[in-house]
């Protein structure tokens, strides 16, 4: 991953207190690790995140510098600032996606899957980093995808090499498994003479099977899909791309370019627990402050969490202020990764607001000498039930004043404040399908994406515009990773891609307008908001979809893609080996 800013740390030590600026994904985790290494109590350490342009997995790590800089600060007694340049970032920050898979599939002649057997090999680099083994393990964990696979066996192997250490990159293991599986299905469909879409429809898990237990595909337990209508997602993407109307599915234009359409279907685990927290505080002017345990890196949590807070508490958004990115705000927090922010953090905010709303009604009922059931709290004011259009009996600021002087229950903080933790021991699963229309120049190997469609069901969209942004951004990032980005080493193990001159990122000319369709047909039964994560659905199936489209286009030339990226020179070698 290449976020806008490279990694950096600023640290200072004063009067036995250590303050660290820089950890932006999992600051509570980084504080816990550093506390054990420095033998310094966590309550003497303060981690503060900065505003950054994206994380994409690469920031969710405890790097050597995360220890060395604070250690030096304490030894020298002076503040220290460390920033890596782009060369250092490309060389030393986590690499990812280097996975090899030997896979075979058994099918009936009608295309129904009987079983899948695979061996996954993950390049760990020269040493194991925090999440290194997660990449091949996650590849195996969802290699069966959203399909009925009666028999599944997969071995996972971590291979040590002389490369940079490996970590996570947006949808780690899920992007890889989707590419492997969806290419395999297209190859099988061609061997059986079955349309690729028809083969997928035949094997997709059906809504009536939910919740669907796919078996023990992870080290920590079974994979259980919580809800979904997988055929509907595939139907939507086929309708949008005009799949049925496009016959044949490949052709050659007047310029000699080979056209093809590719599809891919995926399911993505989101909302990892075990917990996430939120603290809600109301002052005597009726202003609401929400303190989050999650962090933010440009996803728009300030807006979505304010929406959830306002709706769950019964106030308008303009009185809500979101605070995040400081371990002093809330004692425990899981952080932001793996599309868990809204599932875990959003439900923590919702739970805290529901608890606070009960206290508001109890305080108001005591003051008004009535029962809480006779009152309604909405738009930041107390009304008598049935008289919501009449004059308010109390404002939120007045209730906060009552709370300041009222006896609190044992364990409750004084005033109008509450902290809640939402706990989850099961994952939510977003799902969807992608489709692409590409044109390939057989002389140069250059691929032009003429259309790209993303369909994703996330259960419930708190802010549809932001969900659309995640889908478009994820697809754009996935297109770049699929067509351009490659960390090339020479025969001596030296990295050659040391700048953006060598490591290419996509520009507006490489990415077509992304057609994004967001579905809310299958809310998750595992949380009160019914939400699923939306941060990675746009990227998961890009490699698979584009590889299928290119393979479809170049099938008359005998080309079958089985590795990425799809750079022009690689495609040219496939055409003219």
Beta-carbon count within 10 A of 64 CB = 9
pLDDT band with cut points at 50, 70 and 90 for residue 409: low
- The fraction of the chain above a pLDDT of 90, given in percent, is 88
Q: What is the pLDDT of residues 337-359, one digit of tens each?
A: 999 999 999 999 999 999 999 99
The domain made up of 275-423 has a fold known as Aldehyde Oxidoreductase; domain 4 (3.30.365)
Q: What is the pLDDT of residue 425?
A: 94
Q: How far, in Å, are 233, 432, 457 from residue 517 at the CA level?
A: 9, 10, 9
By C-alpha distance, which of 199, 103, 106, 201 is closest to 150?
106
Q: What is the pLDDT of residue 248?
A: 87
Give the pLDDT mean for 541-566: 97
pLDDT band with cut points at 50, 70 and 90 for residue 545: very high
How far is Cα 527 from Cα 110, in angstroms, rounded to an integer? Answer: 39
Residue with tokens 């994409």: 56
Q: How far, in Å, are 130, 242, 422, 538 from residue 450 at the CA level?
A: 39, 13, 43, 17
Omega of the bond prior to 303 within 30 degrees of 0, cis? no
Q: What is the pLDDT of residue 61?
A: 84
Give the pLDDT mean for 100-105: 98
DSSP 490-511: -TTS-B---STTTS----TTTS
Report the run of H or E that residue 570 belongs to, with start and end: helix 568-575
The domain made up of 99-271+426-575 has a fold known as Aldehyde Oxidoreductase; domain 4 (3.30.365)
Ramachandran region of residue 452, left (φ > 0), alpha (ψ -120 to 50) or beta? beta
The two beta strands, 320-323 and 288-292, are parallel
Give the pLDDT mean for 102-121: 98
Inter-helix orientation angle 542-553/464-483, to 10° = 50
- HSE at residue 303, side-chain half, CA atoms within 13 A, is 11
Side by side, which strands form the sheet with 99-107? 99-107, 113-125, 151-160
- 166 close to 124: Cβ distance less than 8 angstroms: yes
Phi, psi (deg, nearest 5) at residue 200:
-70, -45
Beta-carbon count within 10 A of 254 CB = 5
Q: What is the pLDDT of residue 298?
A: 87
Report the run of H or E that residue 235 belongs to, with start and end: helix 230-241
How far is Cα 98 from Cα 87, in angstroms, rounded to an integer? Answer: 20
Q: What is the pLDDT of residues 366-378, one digit of tens each?
A: 999 999 999 999 9
Inter-helix orientation angle 174-192/196-203, to 10° = 110
Q: What is the pLDDT of residues 495-513, one digit of tens each?
A: 998 899 999 999 888 999 9
How far is Cα 370 from Cα 387, in angstroms, rounded to an integer? Answer: 15
Q: What are the structure tokens assigned to 464, written together? A: 């549809």
- 226 close to 524: Cβ distance less than 8 angstroms: yes
pLDDT of residue 410 exceeding 90: no
Q: What are the structure tokens assigned to 450, written together? A: 């003429």
For residues 417-456, b (16+ Cβ closer than 10 Å) or e, as one string?
bbbbbbebebbbbbbbbbbbbbbbbbeebebebebbbbbb
Q: What is the pLDDT of residue 562?
A: 96
pLDDT band with cut points at 50, 70 and 90 for residue 412: low
- The fraction of the chain above a pLDDT of 70, given in percent, is 99
Q: What is the pLDDT of residue 116?
A: 98
The per-residue pLDDT of the chain, averaged, comes to 94
Q: What is the pLDDT of residues 197-240, one digit of tens each?
A: 999 999 999 999 999 999 999 888 899 999 999 999 999 999 99
pLDDT of residue 492 exceeding 90: no
> 576: Cβ–Cβ under 8 A, 6 or more apart, which residues?
none
pLDDT band with cut points at 50, 70 and 90 for residue 130: confident
Q: Could you tell me what percentage of the chain is helix, strand and coil, using 3-state DSSP and rounding each to the nearest 5?
A: 35, 25, 40
Q: What are the structure tokens assigned to 454, written together? A: 């993303």
CATH of domain 8-92: 3.30.365.10
- Residue spans per domain, the chain: 8-92, 99-271+426-575, 275-423
Q: What is the pLDDT of residue 304?
A: 97
User: 3-state class of 558 per DSSP?
Assistant: coil
Instruction: Choose the weakest-confidence range: 18-27, 182-191, 410-419.
Output: 410-419
Phi, psi (deg, nearest 5) at residue 142:
-125, 25
Q: What is the pLDDT of residues 523-541, one digit of tens each?
A: 999 999 999 999 999 999 9
Residue with tokens 């970032």: 89
Q: Is 238 exposed, middle or buried (0-12, 13-18, 19+ CB in 10 A)?
A: buried
Q: How far, in Å, are 54, 351, 409 from residue 415 at the CA level?
A: 37, 18, 11
pLDDT of residue 411 exceeding 80: no
pLDDT of residue 118 exceeding 70: yes
Q: How far, in Å, are 37, 128, 432, 484, 496 from residue 491 at the CA level?
A: 37, 22, 40, 21, 10
């Amino acid at each position: 991953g290449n976020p806008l800013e490279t990694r950096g740390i600023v640290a200072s030590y004063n009067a036995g207190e250590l303050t660290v600026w820089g950890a932006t994904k999992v600051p509570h985790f980084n504080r816990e690790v550093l506390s054990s290494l420095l033998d310094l109590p966590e309550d003497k350490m303060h981690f503060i995140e900065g505003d950054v342009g994206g994380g994409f997995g690469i920031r969710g790590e405890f790097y050597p510098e995360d220890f060395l800089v604070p250690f030096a600060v304490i030894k020298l007694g002076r503040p220290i600032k460390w920033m890596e340049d782009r060369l250092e970032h490309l060389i030393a920050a986590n690499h990812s996606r280097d996975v090899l898979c030997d896979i075979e599939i058994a099918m009936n002649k009608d295309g129904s899957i009987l079983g899948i057997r695979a061996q996954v090999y993950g390049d760990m680099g020269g040493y194991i980093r925090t999440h290194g083994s997660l990449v091949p393990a996650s590849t195996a964990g969802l290699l069966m995808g959203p399909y009925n696979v009666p028999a599944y066996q997969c071995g996972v192997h971590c291979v040590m090499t002389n490369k940079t250490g490996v970590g996570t990159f947006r949808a780690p293991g899920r992007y890889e498994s989707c590419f492997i599986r969806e290419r395999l299905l297209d190859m099988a469909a061609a061997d059986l003479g079955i349309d690729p879409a028809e083969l997928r429809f035949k094997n997709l898990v059906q809504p009536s099977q939910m919740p669907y237990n796919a078996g023990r595909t992870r080290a920590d337990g079974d994979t259980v899909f919580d809800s979904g209508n997988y055929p509907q997602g595939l139907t939507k993407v086929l309708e949008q791309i005009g799949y049925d109307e496009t016959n044949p599915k490949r052709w050659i234009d007047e310029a000699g370019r080979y056209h093809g359409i590719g599809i891919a279907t995926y399911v993505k685990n989101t909302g990892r627990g075990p917990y996430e927290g939120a603290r809600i505080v109301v002052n005597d002017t009726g202003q609401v402050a929400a303190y989050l345990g999650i962090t933010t890196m440009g996803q728009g949590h300030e807006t979505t969490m304010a929406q959830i807070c306002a709706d769950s508490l019964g106030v308008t958004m303009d009185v809500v202020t979101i605070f995040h990115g400081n371990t002093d705000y809330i004692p425990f927090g899981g952080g932001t990764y793996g599309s868990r922010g809204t599932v875990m953090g959003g439900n923590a905010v919702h739970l805290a607001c529901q608890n606070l709303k009960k206290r508001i009604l109890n305080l108001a009922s005591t003051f008004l000498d009535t029962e809480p059931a006779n009152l309604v709290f909405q738009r930041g004011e107390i009304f008598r039930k049935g008289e919501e259009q009449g004059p308010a009996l109390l404002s939120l600021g007045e209730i906060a004043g009552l709370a300041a002087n009222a006896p609190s229950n044992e364990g409750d903080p004084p005033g109008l404040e509450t902290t809640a933790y939402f706990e989850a021991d099961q994952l939510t699963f977003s799902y969807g399908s992608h489709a692409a229309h590409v044109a390939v120049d057989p002389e140069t190997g250059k691929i032009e994406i003429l259309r790209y469609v993303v369909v994703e069901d996330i259960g419930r969209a708190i802010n549809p515009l932001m969900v659309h942004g995640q889908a478009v951004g994820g697809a754009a990032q996935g297109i770049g990773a699929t067509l351009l980005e490659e960390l090339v080493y020479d025969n001596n193990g030296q990295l050659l891609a040391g700048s953006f001159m060598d490591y290419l990122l996509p520009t507006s000319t490489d990415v077509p307008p992304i057609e994004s369709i967001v579905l809310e047909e299958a809310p998750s039964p595992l949380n009160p908001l019914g939400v699923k994560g939306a941060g990675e659905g746009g990227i998961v199936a890009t490699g698979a979809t584009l590889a299928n489209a290119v393979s479809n286009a170049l099938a008359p030339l005998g080309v079958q893609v089985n590795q990425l990226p799809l750079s022009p020179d690689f495609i040219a070698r496939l055409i003219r080996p």
